[in-house]
Amino acid sequence: MLSVLANRTYRHLFAAQVIALIGTGLLTMALGLLAYQLAGAEAGAVLGTALAIKMVAYVLVAPIANAFTGQLPRRAFLVATDLVRAGVALILPFVGQVWQVYLLVFVLQACSAAFTPTFQATIPDILPDERDYTQALSLSRLAYDLENLLSPTLAALLLTVIDFHWLFGGTVVGFLCSAVLVVSVALPSPTPPERRAGVYERTTRGLRIYLATPRLRGLLALNLAVAAAGSMVIVNTVVIVQALLQRPQNDVAVALGLFGGGSMLAALLLPRVLDRLPDRTVMLPAAAFLGVVLLGFAATTWGGVIGWPMLLAAWLALGIGYSAAQTPTGRLLRRSATPGDRPAVFAAQFALSHVAWLLTYPLAGWLGAKAGMPVTLAVLGALTLVAIAAAAALWPVSDPDVVEHAHPDLDPGHPHLDGVGTRRHAHAFVIDDLHQRWPAARPG
């Protein structure tokens, strides 16, 4: 897997991603402490609102930003968003009102919503080989998992010698280092899209391509399955460990570490698995496994007590399924759009996936508080399996890249037809200006 780091451009971008993620992890810890300083016992409500603002920013800003940045130099744009995020992190320690936190969080997350899809769409242009790109996706998954493990540990160590306000300084350094690493390499220019009708056309293009592509409609349902399982872990781990099991705070990190460790294990194994199996064959069973684990855990705890070893085993299993269901996503997006439309499709995935989290975060929290953990596990497990059934129905078993189709609406002399006239022809098929509907499968 590490062989892909021989590519200097990717190596610098990957380092930028890792450093920025560690900075973001420090920011998350610092925001929690800042919220407690400003709101005391209401800190949970403040953080919940900030999390909702983050999701709203992701959903709304990503496609809009793509409409205006598609033809901008990638390097300059990525650096500019890093610098704005560094500036926001620099201001946050000095705020004295909760509304100021909300405003700055929205600005910071809006920049992240513009940065992340652009960054993700750049990688397949740097690594055109499918095998290299798959390795890069697994490394990216490892980076997110390492951030979940390392940032709390680093924050805890730093807080023994500094005030929490200085954690924001670590975030600033992370974003500035990310900007320097991006500046240090030349990035391929985005393929300019054909002229569009206007801002609305550019804003909605990625969403329309996404919803017109069968495999991506299946991915949309998979997003909900992954979010349902992930929300259970992220929202309720602290409640289960401290409120139900009466275990110390350190054990929250242990449980989350098992989830992250399972995800890392899957990410390490996935490149070899994806060399042999299609994405659908890996992603659907992995997501179904999430639902089975949640329902199994619910059944074993119904009317009884949640056991600590049982929780650790379940969270490890969920981490494995979570990574296996999510990591190949970039491969689907890459093969489902032309290079010019790729940033728009990545932005659509970024927004739509966070719609799922916006639904499942409050569901996991409300059910956990009102109905108890066995019911929450059962409901989220059932939701995961329903989403998988939808994904299986929407994503055809036969999903070739090359699809035979006809163009009865084109002039026989159109360059795209390459002399075949209006007869059927075949090539790698994606939704674009000449192919606005997915062809129906031919019988037989």
pLDDT tens per residue, range 350-407? 888 888 988 888 888 888 878 888 999 999 999 999 999 999 999 999 888 888 888 8
Distance CA(277)–CA(281), nearest Å, equals: 6
- Tell me: the pLDDT tens digits for 177-216? 999 999 998 887 766 555 555 666 777 888 899 999 999 9
Q: Between residues 203 and 255, which one has the greater pLDDT?
A: 255
Query: Are 286 and 153 found together in one domain?
Result: no
Same-domain check for residues 204 and 263: yes
Quote the tokens at residue 163: 């005030």
Picking from 130, 160, 190, the residue at the C-terminal end of a domain is: 190
Q: Which residues of 234-261 are buried (b: 16+ CB within 10 A; e: fewer)?
A: bbbbebbbeebbebeeebbbbbbbbbbb
Query: Could you say which of 190, 218, 236 is where a domain stops?
Result: 190
Confidence of residue 318 (pLDDT cuts 50, 70, 90): very high
Classify residue 401: in a domain, yes or no.
no
Q: How confident is the model at residue 151 (pLDDT cuts 50, 70, 90)?
A: low
Highest averaged pLDDT of the listed ranges 19-23, 81-85, 184-188: 81-85
Task: Indicate whether 431 belongs to any domain.
Answer: no
Q: Do 356 and 246 share a structural domain?
A: yes
pLDDT digits (tens, 9 = 90+) for 213-230: 999 999 999 999 999 998
Q: How far apart are CA 197 and CA 346, in angstroms?
A: 21
Whose tokens are 């513009």? That residue is 114
pLDDT at 1: 54
Q: Are 441 and 398 in contact (CB under 8 A)?
A: yes
Greater pLDDT, 217 or 165: 217
Q: Do 150 and 266 belong to one domain?
A: no
Q: Does the pLDDT value for residue 124 go beyond 90?
A: no
**How many angstroms separate the CA atoms of 399 and 378, rounded?**
32
- Both 125 and 145 in one domain: the answer is yes
The per-residue pLDDT for 362 is: 82
Residue 384 falls within a domain, yes or no? yes
Lookup: tokens for 404: 């035979």
pLDDT bin (cut points 50, 70, 90) of residue 444 is very low
Same domain, 167 and 267: no
| Same domain, yes or no: 106 and 204 | no
Helix, coil or strand: residue 427: strand
Long-range contact list for 6-9, CB < 8 A, 24+ apart?
A: 7/126, 7/127, 7/132, 8/185, 9/126, 9/185, 9/186, 9/187
Looking at the structure, do residues 206 and 184 belong to the same domain, yes or no?
Answer: no
Question: The whole model's pTM is what?
Answer: 0.78
Range of 183's domain? 1-190
What is the count of structural domains for the chain? Answer: 2
The pLDDT value recorded for residue 401 is 84
Q: How confident is the model at residue 119 (pLDDT cuts 50, 70, 90)?
A: confident
Mean pLDDT, all residues of the chain: 82
385 contact partners, CB below 8 Å, separation of at least 6: 225, 288, 291, 292, 295
Quick check: is 434 in a domain? no
185 and 219 part of one domain: no
* DSSP β-bridge partners for residue 427: 403
- Whether the per-residue pLDDT at 241 is higher than 70: the answer is yes
Residues 268 and 363 in one domain: yes
Same domain, yes or no, for 253 and 294?
A: yes
Phi, psi of 428 (to 5 degrees): -60, 120
Q: What is the CATH number of the domain that holds 241?
A: 1.20.1250.20
Between strands 425-428 and 402-405, the pairing is: antiparallel
Cβ distance 157 to 22 under 8 Å? no
For the chain, give the percent of residues with pLDDT over 90. 24
pLDDT at 44 over 70: no
Regarding whether 242 and 157 lie in a shared domain, the answer is no
